């Protein structure tokens, strides 16, 4: 995808009335004719299929032949519904061949048209989504790479149980990013590997400078640079003294403390990459330096990190449970973060995006409500990194509530809104069902292993059945 600046949006969830029709496929390719099957699930829908005229509407107003009747008459902005003339109907099932010239939601409507765009009350809609080839070749996955375990001393759960809790809330991938150490993520990986549940686990760590002014999540590395620093104090101190002479820090008016922290950050990032890190996400990047927001960096340090820091992605949003002010019903920190990112883009740096729960208790109600969505061929670590670096990711917080926030490219966001209605509910239900078996495995019941693997296949099949097969 293009590396041009991203469009960042704030979006509120909308409750939309949905017909109960079963439809397959739900996701179709732009420009290729496919068969769409609409199946009634009750008597009222059977009547609609048997006798109601069928129309189609593209969100771009484009008809199957590529024409756009909206432009036929001057200043005529009204919707133009295309009659679907060739459809096979019988026994509560309608099948039609259709071509979708433009990307976006495509609505089939059963009903009686009264005028150009007004339908008689009682019409019923069925929606599919058309994608251009680049996005159609990919699949949606969701996960969280910033969470903690009891190994940090102030979280709740053992590393070995966190993968099961992550699957319970529908995650396809995860990284247990413990403070100062990568080893707990390998504990989680080792625990989940025999399950063959289909979820991907990444080596991960939340890396810090000694004062913890720096917060970043790294994934993919073998060893911890933070542990290395502790074991090589004199060597690290000498490297810091030398790095502080680097002229790249001068334009940022850093005080002595901030300068040392910036130099330490550069070295810890560098060492983390030497140890194999595939991606580094700069965490808590808002810079809203208030007494109750201890993670926020000082402004000058943040400016340096935004412009010169060797990270690949920003956490947008993050700290879901602490950044929202219940009393004022505002999220000043998030609003400032959004403005800072817009300024960053204007300066020519277009960041990748990850969302982060920073969860310290995976039994908490908010766990699973903050996550990253990627669009990729798979959700292994290399596919994840490629998606984030190439702007094929979204950061979500509290979907389906008034506090819903989504960051990312508008094209992906529109598709995500469709997935929220039609894809993720079924996906999450299967994942939760599988997690119940994972907890049994943790309790020593090996008899459910076959069922776990079967559900992994069902989740994969569920994903593929949403897409029309193309030759």
Considering the domain boundaries, does residue 9 fall inside one? no
Winning range, highest mean pLDDT, from 54-63, 243-252, 462-471: 243-252
For residue 363, pLDDT beyond 60: yes
pLDDT in tens, 218-229: 999 999 999 999
Based on the domain organization, do 345 and 446 belong to the same domain? yes
Contact 124, 335 (CB under 8 A): no
For the chain, the domain total comes to: 2
Say what the pLDDT of residue 285 is.
Answer: 76
Considering the domain boundaries, does residue 245 fall inside one? yes
Say what the pLDDT of residue 74 is.
Answer: 56
Q: Which domain holds residue 42?
A: 22-132
What's 184's domain CATH number?
A: 3.20.20.140
Based on the domain organization, do 174 and 305 belong to the same domain? yes
Based on the domain organization, do 50 and 168 belong to the same domain? no
Q: Taking each helix axis from N to C terminus, what angle separates 449-465 and 424-442, rounded to the nearest 10 degrees?
A: 170
Mean pLDDT of the chain: 88
Considering the domain boundaries, does residue 177 fall inside one? yes
pLDDT classification of 12: cutoffs 50, 70, 90: very low
pLDDT in tens, 311-362: 999 998 865 555 566 666 677 777 788 888 889 989 888 999 999 899 999 9
Q: Mean of the pLDDT values across residues 177-204? A: 97
Considering the domain boundaries, does residue 405 fall inside one? no
Q: Mean of the pLDDT values across residues 407-423? A: 96
For residue 6, pLDDT beyond 60: no
pLDDT classification of 73: cutoffs 50, 70, 90: low
Say what the pLDDT of residue 34 is.
Answer: 93
Based on the domain organization, do 42 and 167 belong to the same domain? no
Beta bridge partners of 86: none
Based on the domain organization, do 361 and 443 belong to the same domain? yes
Tell which wins on pLDDT, 2 or 174: 174
Task: Answer yes or no: pTM beyond 0.75.
Answer: yes
Based on the domain organization, do 29 and 154 belong to the same domain? no
What's 42's domain CATH number?
A: 2.60.40
Based on the domain organization, do 304 and 364 belong to the same domain? yes
Based on the domain organization, do 118 and 192 belong to the same domain? no
Considering the domain boundaries, does residue 16 fall inside one? no
pLDDT classification of 448: cutoffs 50, 70, 90: very high
Final residue in a domain of this structure, among 81, 106, 132: 132
Final residue in a domain of this structure, among 109, 132, 155: 132
Closest CA to 168 of 211, 208, 126, 199: 199
Based on the domain organization, do 51 and 178 belong to the same domain? no
Q: Tokens representing 93?
A: 């099932």
Q: Mean of the pLDDT values across residues 166-174? A: 98
Based on the domain organization, do 120 and 173 belong to the same domain? no
Based on the domain organization, do 244 and 164 belong to the same domain? yes
Phi and psi at residue 214, in whole multiples of 5°? -85, 130
Say what the pLDDT of residue 80 is.
Answer: 78
Say what the pLDDT of residue 289 is.
Answer: 46
- Give CA angle at 380 (443, 147), nearest 5°: 55
Considering the domain boundaries, does residue 125 fall inside one? yes
Percent of the chain whose predicted confidence (pLDDT) is above 70: 88
Say what the pLDDT of residue 17 is.
Answer: 39
pLDDT classification of 3: cutoffs 50, 70, 90: very low
Considering the domain boundaries, does residue 367 fall inside one? yes
Based on the domain organization, do 269 and 378 belong to the same domain? yes
Phi and psi at residue 170, in whole multiples of 5°? 90, 15
Alpha-carbon distance of 5 to 237, in angstroms, equals 38
User: Among 14-28, 271-285, 390-404, where is mean pLDDT lowest?
Assistant: 14-28
Say what the pLDDT of residue 16 is.
Answer: 34
Final residue in a domain of this structure, among 105, 132, 159: 132
SS (H, E, C) the chain: CCCCCCCCCCCCCCCCCCCCCEEECCEEEECCCEEEEEECCCHHHHHHHHHCCEEEEECCCCCCCCCCHHHCCCCCCCCCCEECCCEEEECCEEEEEECECCCEEEEEEECCECCCCCECCCCEEEEEEEECHHHHCCEEEEEECCECCHHHCCCCCCHHHHHHHHHHCCCCEEECCEECCCHHHHHHHHHHHHHCCCCEEECEEEECCCCCCCCEEEECCCCCHHHHHHHCHHHHHHHHHHHCCCHHHHHHCCCHHHHHHHHHHHHHHHHHHHCCCCEEEECCCCCCCCCCCCCCCCHHHHHHHHHHCCCCEEEEEECCCCCCECCCCECHHHHHHHHHHHHHHHCCCCCEEEEECCECCCCCCCCCCEEEEEEECCCCHHHHHHHHHCCCEEEEECCCCCCCEEECCHHHHHHHHHHHHHCHHHHHHHHHHHHHHHHHHHCCCHHHHHHHHHHHHHHHHHHHHCECCCC
Considering the domain boundaries, does residue 404 fall inside one? no
pLDDT classification of 20: cutoffs 50, 70, 90: confident
């Amino acid at each position: 995808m293009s590396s041009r600046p991203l469009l960042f949006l704030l979006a509120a969830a909308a409750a939309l009335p949905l017909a109960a029709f079963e439809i397959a496929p739900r996701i179709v390719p732009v420009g290729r004719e496919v068969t769409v099957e609409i199946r009634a699930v009750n008597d009222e829908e059977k009547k609609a299929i048997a006798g109601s005229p069928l129309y189609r509407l593209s969100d771009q107003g484009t008809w199957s032949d590529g024409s756009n009747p909206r432009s036929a008459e001057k200043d005529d902005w009204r919707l133009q519904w295309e009659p679907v003339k060739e459809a096979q109907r019988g026994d509560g099932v309608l099948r039609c061949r259709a071509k979708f010239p433009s990307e976006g939601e495509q609505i089939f409507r059963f009903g009686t048209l009264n005028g150009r765009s007004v339908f008689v009350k009682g019409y019923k809609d069925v929606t599919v989504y058309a994608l251009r080839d680049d996005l159609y070749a990919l699949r949606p996955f969701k996960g969280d790479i910033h969470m903690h375990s009891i190994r940090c001393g102030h979280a709740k759960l053992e590393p070995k149980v966190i993968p099961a809790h992550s699957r319970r809330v529908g995650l396809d991938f995860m990284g247990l990013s413990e403070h100062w150490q990568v080893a707990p993520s390998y504990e989680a990986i080792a625990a989940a590997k025999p399950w063959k549940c289909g979820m991907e686990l990444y080596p991960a760590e939340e890396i810090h400078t000694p004062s913890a002014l720096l917060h970043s999540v790294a994934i993919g590395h073998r060893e911890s640079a933070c542990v290395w620093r502790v074991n090589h104090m004199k060597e690290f101190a000498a490297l810091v003294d030398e790095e502080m002479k680097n002229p790249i820090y001068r334009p940022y008016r850093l005080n002595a403390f901030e300068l040392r922290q910036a130099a330490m950050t550069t070295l810890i990032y560098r060492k983390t990459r030497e140890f194999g890190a595939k991606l580094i996400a700069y965490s808590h990047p808002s810079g809203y330096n208030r007494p109750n927001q201890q993670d926020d960096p000082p402004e000058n340090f943040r400016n340096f990190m935004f412009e010169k820091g060797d990270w690949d992605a920003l956490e947008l949003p993050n700290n879901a449970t602490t950044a929202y002010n219940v009393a004022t019903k505002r999220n000043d920190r998030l609003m400032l973060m959004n403005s800072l990112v817009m300024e960053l883009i204007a300066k020519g740096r277009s960041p990748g995006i990850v969302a982060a729960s920073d969860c310290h208790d995976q039994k908490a109600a908010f766990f699973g409500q903050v996550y990253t969505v990627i669009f990729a061929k798979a959700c292994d670590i290399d596919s994840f990194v490629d998606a984030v670096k190439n702007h094929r990711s979204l950061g979500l917080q509290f979907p389906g509530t008034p506090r819903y926030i989504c960051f990312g490219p508008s094209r992906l966001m529109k598709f995500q809104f469709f997935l929220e209605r039609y894809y993720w509910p079924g996906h999450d239900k299967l994942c939760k069902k599988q997690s119940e078996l994972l907890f049994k495995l943790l309790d020593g019941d090996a008899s459910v292993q076959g069922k776990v693997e079967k559900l992994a296949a069902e989740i994969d099949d569920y994903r593929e059945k949403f897409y029309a097969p193309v030759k």
